[in-house]
A and B are shown apart, each in its own frame.
Chain A
Amino acid sequence: MKKEIRKCIALCIATGMTAGLVACGGDGGTAASEPPGTAVADNKENIPSSVPGELPDAGTSVHYPIQGAEKLTFGMALANEWSDRFDSWTDLPIGRAVQEKTGVELEMVHVADNKAMNLLLASPDLPDIILFNFQNNYSGGEIKAIEDGVIFPMDAEFLQQNAPDYWEVLNSNENIMKGSTNQQNQVFGFTFIMGDDKIKTGYGLTVRDDWCEQLGLDVAQIDTAEEFHDMLSRFKSELNVEIPMTFTSKNLEELLDYGTITSPFGLVTRDVYQKEGTVHIGYAEKEYKDVLAYLNQLYNEGLLDANFSTNDAATVTANMLSGTSGVSTGALGGGIGTWLQTNRDVEGYSLAGLHNLVENDGDKSLYGFYKTDVIGKTAVITNSCENKELAAQFLNYGYTDEGHMLYVFGVEGESYEMVDGEPQYTEYIMHNPDGLTVKKAMSEYTLSWDNGPFVQDLRQKLQSASMPEQLAAWDVWDDTTVEEYFLPKIAIAQEDLAEYSSLRSDIKTYVNEMTIKFVRGTESLDHFDEYLATLESMGVSRLTEIIQAATDEYYAR
């Protein structure tokens, strides 16, 4: 309740200021006016009802194109998707359009990769804006980068004045706000935001549908550990399938960490999760033993790839395409999508998504693949920037209606058309005349193939994963209660960071090593208690403690 009131106030302030500052053009808009199914629509219930629907016109204080704007420098890593055809991002249709629409001229500073970006950050003169995945590629993430004096931290007042649309998106959902701020409630940048819960999912088991049909099995009915086992063994005994289930050791980690196969044994996930605010670590729980025993049984019966520990992804793909294997695992695009696309001319070849394994028929699985609301690259304003207000106004554009369409779909008439009021990617994107892949074609007109300062749109992913089997698999994989257990985007306290990463790395090494040994039977499961004891001696409690503290801080923030 309190939260809502605060949001109300914030919105009112933003609105009031706007009215007072700029005579607003009608072309902008706010998230509130977005059509259903896009952007923050899924968070509709969070938007205070007191905001009337006809607000949009008054909700914008930044008028695009910005008049008399200076030049801004923009640091970004070169993307292989377009660097073979263009010298600079500003030569791309998206780059040209962004400059034209915002009225801000950009001067790009391109570096070759993440390492080079780290080196750029070590230099005294930084570009005004940097788009970079600090979370993964800068020790300590954005929060440390604020402390280091790289990032200019933004407060509420600054954002309300210069980036009202972004401010509104931040306030639409608590997780978005917390995912974009540090412990002192300073906003570190213009983040990439998942506009719909469904975008956060899209990973699971994939099975040869035609084989199941041949055996009289209904794929939709297979969801318990027993049924899964029976299916695999019938593949082997009745269809003489050489390797019923193929995967790599990385896939095994995914299956366990995304909870794809752990639910029947009462284990949420092998990874870290939370239950009503209390942190648990799956690999240190005794239920993990049952998961391992199950996998070990499958392995001993010859149902799993005997060489999964040395397999690479190419082998898995080859097995799935050549009929050597009937089950594997992967994501919507890279797994099932790629295999179907490659074998589209093969008669009778069909794939289907398999429900995450559960205890009882028809259950939702406890856990599943899921992403945080805020993820990936963030566009930050650096302290070297001399006109921070302008930089904020420029970056705000991605969160307006118009900017949203530009970043996600590109230029109307070129990269998308409006069909029945819905944007549709053109043939140029989906079936490029020059033979460019979808990703490469998209990279010319959008940033939605990657990350950027805007809200990601479900319609983008629906259209890029457009095969009916893909869409069906997506729905099946999505049948989870992962939201209950998912750990939000917590921030480990700076003083714990070194200890945390050291503990995590050693423990992860040990867990992965032992997991493979238990599954393959080179280590007997009778030693599972010793495994738990070793984890304890390696400091798994301390690790839990550090994560718990960060989680507490997150919920208290």
Chain B
Amino acid sequence: MKKADNIRQAKRQAETGKRSFGIRLEKDLKRNYGAYLLFLPVALYYILFAYKPMYGILVAFKDFTPARGVWESPWTSGYGFGHFISFFKSFYFTRVLKNTLIISFSTLLVTFPAPIVLALLLNEVRGTKFKRTIQTLSYMPHFISLVVICSMLRLFVADNGIVTGFLKTLGIVDGTYSLLSMENYFVPIYVFSGLWQTVGWNAIIYMSALSGIDQGLYEAARIDGAGKFKQMWHVTLPGLMPTIVMLLILRIGQIMSIGHEKIILLYNEEIYSTADVISSFVYRKGLLEYNWGFSTAVGLFNSVINFMLVLMANRISRKTIDMGLW
């Protein structure tokens, strides 16, 4: 069917030479007007709520105050790049950039594969009750507010906390101080608490993807004599692949964005050298003083990098495994 369609289309193109884009579009609109009609409300939504306010990006280039508005506020110095220059020239620019990247990549490395593993392991559980219970339990930390999660974390890694106690029996620390007053421990604490917070919640999407795998494929594998591990490797994992790839590309597009809330709740001045990231830096500098221009500029800087990373990731994935966001 599809093949025939393609051949017909190719023929038509050959007949008319290179048809203009407009005519082809008109044909497509006519043939699929039902689909375009379905898309209309969504398109309107995006135009109205995403593209219409987008002029606000200009704030990054302006000495913005709310009362003046985007158009009336004057451009910053440096041909409108004043906020960017002040960010790049800041004493702490390299430090916060470095910390952002370190924390972000470690988080990606640890927290991205974990939910996949959890979903695979849960998939091997036959007892429905046990499976449901564990799954329900595992996503609970997601619902506890960050403030409380962090205050618990601080207790766990305090001088008398259980984590500190555990490390003390291993002889790694001496247990007089909170782990959070030592530079080297911030990244592991941040990353592993992040794992704990998100692993169950993030496994949900994989669980749903698992249920979408054609059971006939397992049947076929079994007939071919594949054991359980082989089935996992040859049927389950490939079945999850599209989901994994999509989420990984999306995740790569968040490398620059580490939220400031958790950082601020966990860090202290003494460990700024490993804990201070772009968002917490901007929080102290811009948001607290309602410096809209500066925070928008840094946000834009992050977005541009994130977007370029997504473009790159998508391209690589298209080229290598022919999957991607578009």
Pair A149/B154 contact, Cβ less than 8 Å: no
Give, as a whole number of angstroms, the nearest-CB distance from B162 to chain A.
16
A contact residues around B181 at 8 Å (CB) = 307, 309-310, 520
Segment of B60-68, B111-119, B213-221, B247-255 in the binding face: B60-68
A contact residues around B284 at 8 Å (CB) = 505, 509
Pair A312/B151 contact, Cβ less than 8 Å: yes
- Inter-chain CA distance A338–B82, complex, in Å, is 47
Pair A505/B269 contact, Cβ less than 8 Å: no
With A122-B69, A509-B284 known as contacts, the answer to whether A138 contacts B290 (CB < 8 A) is yes
B176 contacts partner chain A, Cβ-Cβ < 8 Å? yes
B86 contacts partner chain A, Cβ-Cβ < 8 Å? yes
Interface mask (B45-69 → A, CB under 8 Å = 1, otherwise 0)? 0000000000000000001111111
A contact residues around B63 at 8 Å (CB) = 498
Pair A506/B268 contact, Cβ less than 8 Å: no
Interface mask (B108-151 → A, CB under 8 Å = 1, otherwise 0)? 00000000000000000000000000000000000000000001
A278 contacts partner chain B, Cβ-Cβ < 8 Å? no
B75 contacts partner chain A, Cβ-Cβ < 8 Å? no
Partner of A516, one of B66, B268, B285, B292: B268
> Taking chain B's interface residues, is the majority helix, strand, or loop, or is none over half, making it mixed?
loop
Partner of B92, one of A501, A506, A512, A520: A506
- Inter-chain CA distance A509–B290, complex, in Å, is 18
B5 contacts partner chain A, Cβ-Cβ < 8 Å? no
Q: How many chain-B residues does the 8 Å CB contact rule pick out?
A: 34
Pair A310/B67 contact, Cβ less than 8 Å: no
Pair A249/B67 contact, Cβ less than 8 Å: no
Pair A512/B269 contact, Cβ less than 8 Å: yes
With A306-B177, A310-B158, A312-B151 known as contacts, the answer to whether A509 contacts B270 (CB < 8 A) is no
- Inter-chain CA distance A509–B93, complex, in Å, is 13
Q: How many chain-A residues does the 8 Å CB contact rule pick out?
A: 34
B91 contacts partner chain A, Cβ-Cβ < 8 Å? yes
Residue of chain A at shortest CB distance from B155: A315
A148 contacts partner chain B, Cβ-Cβ < 8 Å? yes
B193 contacts partner chain A, Cβ-Cβ < 8 Å? no
Pair B285/A118 contact, Cβ less than 8 Å: no
With A306-B159, A310-B181 known as contacts, the answer to whether A505 contacts B285 (CB < 8 A) is yes
A276 contacts partner chain B, Cβ-Cβ < 8 Å? no
Within 8 A of B (CB), among A492-507: 498, 501-502, 505-506
- Inter-chain CA distance A149–B181, complex, in Å, is 47
Pair A121/B268 contact, Cβ less than 8 Å: no
Pair A118/B290 contact, Cβ less than 8 Å: yes
Pair A501/B66 contact, Cβ less than 8 Å: no
Residue of chain A at shortest CB distance from B95: A509
Pair A122/B159 contact, Cβ less than 8 Å: no
With A140-B65, A149-B68, A310-B181 known as contacts, the answer to whether A516 contacts B270 (CB < 8 A) is yes
B256 contacts partner chain A, Cβ-Cβ < 8 Å? no
With A307-B158, A498-B63, A516-B269 known as contacts, the answer to whether A137 contacts B285 (CB < 8 A) is no
B289 contacts partner chain A, Cβ-Cβ < 8 Å? yes
Partner of A310, one of B66, B76, B268: B268
- Inter-chain CA distance A538–B151, complex, in Å, is 34
Pair B290/A137 contact, Cβ less than 8 Å: yes
- Inter-chain CA distance A150–B72, complex, in Å, is 13
B291 contacts partner chain A, Cβ-Cβ < 8 Å? yes
B240 contacts partner chain A, Cβ-Cβ < 8 Å? no
- Inter-chain CA distance A510–B95, complex, in Å, is 12
Pair B180/A310 contact, Cβ less than 8 Å: yes
Interface mask (A123-161 → B, CB under 8 Å = 1, otherwise 0)? 000000000000001111000110011100000000000
B contact residues around A150 at 8 Å (CB) = 67
B272 contacts partner chain A, Cβ-Cβ < 8 Å? yes
Pair B69/A522 contact, Cβ less than 8 Å: no
Interface mask (A507-547 → B, CB under 8 Å = 1, otherwise 0)? 00110110111001010000000000000001000000000
Within 8 A of A (CB), among B17-33: none
A1 contacts partner chain B, Cβ-Cβ < 8 Å? no
Pair B151/A139 contact, Cβ less than 8 Å: no
Partner of A139, one of B90, B92, B268, B289: B289
Pair B67/A122 contact, Cβ less than 8 Å: yes
Residue with the highest number of chain B CB atoms closer than 10 Å, among A150, A509, A512: A509
B contact residues around A306 at 8 Å (CB) = 159, 176-177
Pair A309/B67 contact, Cβ less than 8 Å: no
B178 contacts partner chain A, Cβ-Cβ < 8 Å? yes
A119 contacts partner chain B, Cβ-Cβ < 8 Å? yes
- Inter-chain CA distance A524–B103, complex, in Å, is 28
With A122-B66, A148-B67, A498-B86 known as contacts, the answer to whether A309 contacts B176 (CB < 8 A) is no
Residue with the highest number of chain A CB atoms closer than 10 Å, among B154, B181, B270, B285: B270
A contact residues around B90 at 8 Å (CB) = 502, 506
- Inter-chain CA distance A144–B92, complex, in Å, is 28
Residue of chain A at shortest CB distance from B282: A505
- Inter-chain CA distance A119–B284, complex, in Å, is 20
Pair A502/B270 contact, Cβ less than 8 Å: no
- Inter-chain CA distance A121–B292, complex, in Å, is 13
With A122-B66, A149-B68, A509-B284 known as contacts, the answer to whether A139 contacts B269 (CB < 8 A) is no
- Inter-chain CA distance A139–B293, complex, in Å, is 10
- Inter-chain CA distance A121–B270, complex, in Å, is 38
- Inter-chain CA distance A171–B269, complex, in Å, is 44
Within 8 A of A (CB), among B269-307: 269-270, 272-273, 276, 284-285, 289-292
Pair A522/B270 contact, Cβ less than 8 Å: yes
B contact residues around A498 at 8 Å (CB) = 63, 76, 82, 86
- Inter-chain CA distance A301–B265, complex, in Å, is 29
With A122-B69, A148-B68 known as contacts, the answer to whether A249 contacts B269 (CB < 8 A) is yes
- Inter-chain CA distance A505–B91, complex, in Å, is 10
- Inter-chain CA distance A506–B285, complex, in Å, is 8
- Inter-chain CA distance A138–B92, complex, in Å, is 25
Residue of chain A at shortest CB distance from B269: A512
Residue of chain A at shortest CB distance from B70: A122
Give, as a whole number of angstroms, the nearest-CB distance from A308 to chain B.
9
With A121-B66, A139-B65, A306-B159 known as contacts, the answer to whether A538 contacts B91 (CB < 8 A) is yes
With A139-B291, A148-B65, A307-B178 known as contacts, the answer to whether A506 contacts B154 (CB < 8 A) is no
- Inter-chain CA distance A466–B177, complex, in Å, is 39
Q: Can you add 17 more A-B contacts, CB < 8 Å, to A138-B290, A140-B65, A502-B90?
A: A118-B290, A122-B66, A122-B67, A122-B69, A139-B290, A149-B68, A306-B176, A307-B178, A501-B285, A502-B285, A506-B92, A509-B272, A509-B276, A513-B269, A517-B270, A520-B270, A522-B270
Q: List 7 tightest A-B contacts by C-beta distance, closest first.
A: A122-B66, A148-B67, A150-B67, A310-B178, A512-B269, A505-B285, A516-B270
> Can you name 14 A-B pairs with beta carbons within 8 Å?
A119-B66, A122-B67, A122-B69, A138-B66, A139-B292, A144-B65, A150-B67, A249-B270, A312-B154, A498-B63, A505-B284, A513-B272, A516-B268, A538-B91
